[in-house]
Chains A and B, each alone.
Chain A
């Protein structure tokens, strides 16, 4: 499994058109990096990342624990043959009288299909950024399609109205879409390790890791430990929890034509 990342110069035409051949200005870039922090917060909220998972087993609840019925993604994202998501998840959230733990609902309740897994769970900002732009992950969606997805998709919108005692996505939906556009319009700049370090995003050094393996099972505690290099470049490692596959994260130096990569180490 190879995750080729597009460098700046190879970005989607839509984004390029917005910022011109010279690329974003330093100011634009800073705004985009800032906007991406919001994108990340939303993408990695339990309401979103519980289904944007590596492997085939979704998570549930705010704590992101394994989905109790051992349900799986299935051939089209709609669950296993014989146990489609719709068996329990209806077209809308159940009435409040069903209790806070009744399965939530929204139209076409599903996981991303295997062809477009869009794994967000546990990724660092650079890795998440790379993933969103990876056409192998997003099934060739361009930014127009991605913006449409995050703006209009009813299942996405459910994240802001999850029912029960589930925490809704904390960032207002309109603000999230706006930030997503800001980032996209700036050419969907690659958020570098230095950016992430500066914003306090990547602080998870080995010395700060949770002490026990059990704690490390909590989502968010499996970020890589990138080693910063010259001019925003970095190299790091990320592990996929479900199969312990180790991925090498490579973030190229700013301004070079080398591609960022996320490949099996």
Chain B
């Protein structure tokens, strides 16, 4: 689960010229747009908030809001310590600047379900620092000791004296921030842990919210890029004669990734691109076929690879085991298919460049832009706008969609918004890699596993990127997370996890819950297989195996209890169970399924989550719902296929996702915890495919080892 974190550390270093900076208030202030005036109208004690004379508290987000709810959760952390008036909170995405580097690594990014827990201390400290200064300023004004002041709802109060924060802005901004500030005791929290509604709702229900696609200013043109139909293909030549006759088309330029048609608006650019003729050199990947790849992977999976984890002698123990279960599992390539197709707006000037986009990777995008434009990173201003879904696609090590847009704007010599069509987005690569798992498990007489040999075959996300050096001893940790560190393996004396990371030419990337997307499915389906082989109830069997794993057990028991595990169901329905740890949190799910008209129907999913301290229970529930629906799409429908090097799917009609009529009722139960917070955004995804598959086994007696389940 630390794969991305490690990667990012290295990426930032390897990226060239990225400063490893830590939080420095002075630098932070410089990064802000508001400047200090003789009589300060704004109090900005650090990079994360500023308070205006109008009492408004503006919180600057070091991370991107892509639906996961940090637009609300991070302000909650500040509001808690600041004792702010919640109605006065405003939120902005921070600019790209070292002040906003993650606390976990020197880079500004959003991913790994890390935003809330990595900011838990920093944002609280930011609020507490501001509060301390406001109290100091008020104490001076009141003529009392700071210790005699209290704060509440955006005011400093001492006896019958009151001052709104806005009134203290000027005085507070002339004070020196204390080096350390005490934070509230958990028992005194008034905001953290309380279900809090989203702050971005008003603009998102009125159409006012600005996503990358919505960026507009005078003189902005729109581009569509013709890209190779085969990954890695290059432009041999092109004929833009007809394209240039389309009304509204302004220019046609070649860029490294293809040929861009630049026009007054999307539709003209689209018609222009339709009229464009490009002669492609398809390169080496014109024969790629996902079916053959799957067969190749399956063959490879029978041989030993790089060792990702091992203990004892798995082969010997397998030979001695009373019984042996062998299984091959497989998952296909998946597209993120976020609702907002990729896009990026770029305006290049002599000494600066501005980029507007929904990105998860500000620092890398900034560095890449700087490199292309010949500017310094600090001359590149990244405006993060709302992301119409991210799911990992907007965090590419190559900054692909930003890099391309910068090339387009550079070649055009004008500000350009480069927009991808849905088909471009679907066929543009950067998929969840396909994987085949080959597993042999030895069981003892009592039905418990005593030997485990597990071989995974699938592309490394880091291989072929500039960060290949991250792969240690042949292991990309993101390929084996969820298997190599499985709690089940920890209880076995003899196991071995092998990994093959073939190269295929297909660009791959993390997709919401990364390696856990397949390892959660495989491990929890396997455990179910073992339970049935042992003749034991899947819940009872897991309880035995996980008896020393309290947090797994806690979620498992809660989900089972709330789902009524073991109680009768209507005829034709069955339940399945799964529990999986990812991103520092634990989720268990029980799915109720039936087969109706030859189609799998998921009626209900009951989820228990232990994510440590639950900062905003309302958004944690929402994220579990979200992860579950996302996971059902992958479990039932998600599959990208390649034939003759070309991606066959193109839009939602042939790359199906869950719609309203297929969405189950979902119940989420949060395990009360005072443990350090873990992740939330991705944690709901990994168990659901296994829970469904296990329910289908209970229903039909047929074990499903390949995703998507598609048809009954």
By a beta-carbon cutoff of 8 Å, the part of chain A in contact with chain B is 68-70, 97, 101, 213-214, 217, 241-243
A180 nearest CB across to chain B (Å): 32
CB-CB < 8 A to A213: which residues of B?
Answer: 598
Complex contacts, B187 vs chain A, CB 8 Å: none
Question: What 1/0 flags go to B591-621 for Cβ under 8 Å of A?
Answer: 0000001100000000000000000000000
Residue of B274, B598, B653 near A68 (CB, 8 A) is B653
Contact yes or no, B661 A70, CB < 8 A = yes
Min CB distance B594 to A, Å, is: 14
Q: How far is the CB of A36 from chain B (nearest CB, A)?
A: 30
- Check B598–A217 contact: CB distance below 8 A: yes
Name A70's contact: one of B650, B651, B659 (CB within 8 Å). B659
Contacts A68-B656, A97-B271, A101-B651 given; does A214 touch B661 at CB 8 Å: no
What's the minimum C-beta distance from B495 to chain A, rounded to whole angstroms? 37
B572 CB, min distance to chain A CBs, angstroms: 12
Q: What are some 16 contacts across the A-B interface (CB < 8 A)? A: A68-B652, A68-B653, A68-B656, A69-B659, A70-B659, A70-B660, A70-B661, A97-B270, A97-B271, A97-B274, A101-B653, A213-B598, A214-B711, A217-B598, A217-B711, A243-B597
CB contacts (< 8 Å) of B271 on chain A: these are 97
Residue of A nearest to B267 (CB): A97
Q: Is the CB of A242 within 8 A of B597?
A: yes
What are the residues of chain A within 8 A of B659 when measuring CB–CB? 69-70
In the complex, chain B residues 274-314 whose Cβ is within 8 Å of any chain A Cβ: 274
Q: Nearest A residue to B661 by beta-carbon distance? A: A70
A101 to B653, CA, bound (A): 9
| Chain B residues with CB below 8 A from A69, complex form | 659
Give the nearest-CB partner of B662 in chain A: A70
Check A241 against B597 for contact (C-beta < 8 Å): yes
Interface centre among B653, B660, B662 (most CB of A within 10 A): B653
Chain B residues 658-672 with CB under 8 Å of chain A are 659-662
Closest approach, in angstroms, between the C-beta of B653 and any C-beta of chain A?
5
Residues of A within 8 A of B650 (CB): 101
Expressed in whole angstroms, the minimum distance between the Cβ of A238 and any Cβ of chain B is 17
Q: Which single residue of chain B is at the shortest CB-CB distance from A66?
A: B599
Chain A neighbourhood of B653, CB < 8 A: 68, 101
| Complexed CA–CA distance, A176 and B574 (Å) | 50
- What separation, in Å, do the CA atoms of A209 and B711 have in the docked complex? 19
Nearest-Cβ distance from residue A90 to partner chain B, whole angstroms: 17
B702 CB to closest chain A CB (Å) equals 12
Report the separation of the CA atoms of residues A217 and B599 in the bound assembly, to the nearest whole angstrom: 11
Which interface residue of B274, B598, B651, B662 has the most chain A CB atoms within 10 A? B598
**Closest Cβ neighbor of B656 among chain A residues:** A68
**What separation, in Å, do the CA atoms of A68 and B271 have in the docked complex?**
27
Q: Which residue of A lies closest to B712 (CB)?
A: A213
- List CB contacts (< 8 Å) of B620-675 with chain A: 650-653, 656, 659-662
Q: How far is the CA of A68 from the CA of B650 in the complex (A)?
A: 14
Instruction: Determine the distance from Cα of A97 to Cα of B271 in the docked complex, in whole angstroms.
Output: 7
Task: Name 4 extra pairs, CB < 8 A, besides A68-B652, A68-B656.
Answer: A69-B659, A70-B661, A217-B598, A242-B597
User: Which 5 A-B residue pairings sit nearest by Cβ, starting from the closest?
Assistant: A70-B661, A68-B653, A214-B711, A217-B598, A97-B271
Q: Which residue of B lies closest to A67 (CB)?
A: B653
Q: Within the assembled complex, what's the spacing in Å between the Cα atoms of A242 and B597?
A: 6
Chain A nearest CB from B182 CB (Å) reads 55
Specify which chain A residues have a CB less than 8 angstroms from the CB of B662 in the assembled complex: 70
CA distance A118 to B659 in the complex (A): 29
**Which chain A residues border B711 with CB–CB below 8 Å?**
214, 217
User: How many angstroms between the C-alpha atoms of A97 and B274 in the bound complex?
Assistant: 8
Q: Which residues of A contact B270 (CB under 8 A)?
A: 97
Who on chain B is nearest to A70 by CB? Answer: B661
In the complex, what residue of chain B is closest to A69 when comparing beta carbons?
B659
Question: In this complex, what residue of A is CB-closest to B423?
Answer: A99
Query: Once bound together, how far apart are the Cα atoms of A50 and B254, in whole Å?
Result: 44
Q: Cα distance A151–B307 when bound, in Å?
A: 71
CA A70 – CA B652 in complex, angstroms? Answer: 13
CA distance A213 to B662 in the complex (A): 22
User: How far, in whole Å, are A152 and B239 apart by their CA atoms in the complex?
Assistant: 45
Closest to A242 in B: B597
Q: How far is the CB of A68 from chain B (nearest CB, A)?
A: 5
Distance to closest chain B CB from A62 (angstroms):
13
CA–CA, A243 to B598, complex, Å? Answer: 10
Q: Which residue of A lies closest to B597 (CB)?
A: A242
User: How many Å from the CB of A80 to the closest CB on chain B?
Assistant: 11
Closest residue of chain B to A55 (Cβ to Cβ) is B597
Once bound together, how far apart are the Cα atoms of A213 and B711, in whole Å?
10
Closest to B710 in A: A214
Interface positions of B from 246 to 282, Cβ below 8 Å from A: 270-271, 274
- State the CA gap A97–B247 with chains docked (Å): 14
Residues of B within 8 A of A97 (CB): 270-271, 274
Residues of A within 8 A of B274 (CB): 97
Cβ distance A132 to chain B, nearest Cβ, rounded Å: 26
| Complex alpha-carbon distance, A69 and B656, angstroms | 10
Alpha-carbon gap, A214 to B599, bound state (A): 11
Of all chain B residues, the one with the shortest Cβ separation from A72 is: B661
Nearest CB of A to B204, in Å: 21
Chain B neighbourhood of A101, CB < 8 A? 650-651, 653
Residues of A within 8 A of B652 (CB): 68
B699 to chain A, nearest CB (A): 15
CA A69 – CA B651 in complex, angstroms? 13
> Taking CB as reference atom, which chain A residue is nearest B659?
A70
User: Which residues of chain B have C-beta atoms less than 8 A from A68's C-beta?
Assistant: 652-653, 656
Measured between beta carbons, the chain A residues less than 8 angstroms from B656 are 68
Output the least CB separation between B351 and chain A (Å). Answer: 41
Residues of B within 8 A of A214 (CB): 598, 711
Give bound CA distance, A69 to B660, whole Å.
Answer: 9
CB distance from A47 to the nearest CB of B (A): 17
Minimum C-beta distance from A106 to chain B (A): 20
Within the assembled complex, what's the spacing in Å between the Cα atoms of A241 and B651? Answer: 28
Shortest distance in angstroms between B263's beta carbon and chain A's nearest beta carbon?
14
Bound complex: CA A69 to CA B653 (Å): 9
CB distance from A229 to the nearest CB of B (A): 33
Within the complex, the shortest CB–CB distance from A27 to chain B, in Å, comes to 45
| Chain B residues with CB below 8 A from A243, complex form | 597
- Nearest CB of B to A82, in Å: 12
Complex alpha-carbon distance, A217 and B660, angstroms: 24
Nearest to A60 among chain B residues (CB) is B653
CA–CA, A263 to B391, complex, Å? 52
Determine the distance from Cα of A70 to Cα of B657 in the docked complex, in whole angstroms: 12
Q: Could you tell me the distance between the alpha carbons of A217 and B597 in the complex, rounded to whole angstroms?
A: 10
Query: How many angstroms from the CA of A200 to the CA of B662 in the assembled complex?
Result: 41
Q: Which residues of A sit under 8 angstroms from B598, Cβ to Cβ?
A: 213-214, 217
CB proximity of B244 to chain A, nearest CB, Å: 17
What is the 8 Å Cβ interface bit string for chain B, positions 163-195, against chain A (1 contact, 0 not)?
000000000000000000000000000000000
Q: Tell me, rounded to whole Å, the shortest Cβ–Cβ distance linking B385 to chain A.
A: 28
- Give the shortest distance, in Å, between B633 (CB) and chain A (any CB): 13
Return the chain B residue nearest A103 by Cβ: B653
Closest to A214 in B: B711
Bound complex: CA A70 to CA B656 (Å): 12
CA gap between A70 and B601 in the complex, in Å: 14
Chain B positions within 8 Å of A241 at CB level: 597
Q: With the chains together, A136 CA to B651 CA distance in Å?
A: 40
Which chain A residue has the least Cβ–Cβ distance from B652? A68
Bound form: Cα–Cα A242–B711 in Å: 15
B190-208: which residues lie under 8 A (CB-CB) from chain A? none
Shortest beta-carbon distance from B242 to chain A in Å? 13
Report the separation of the CA atoms of residues A97 and B267 in the bound assembly, to the nearest whole angstrom. Answer: 10
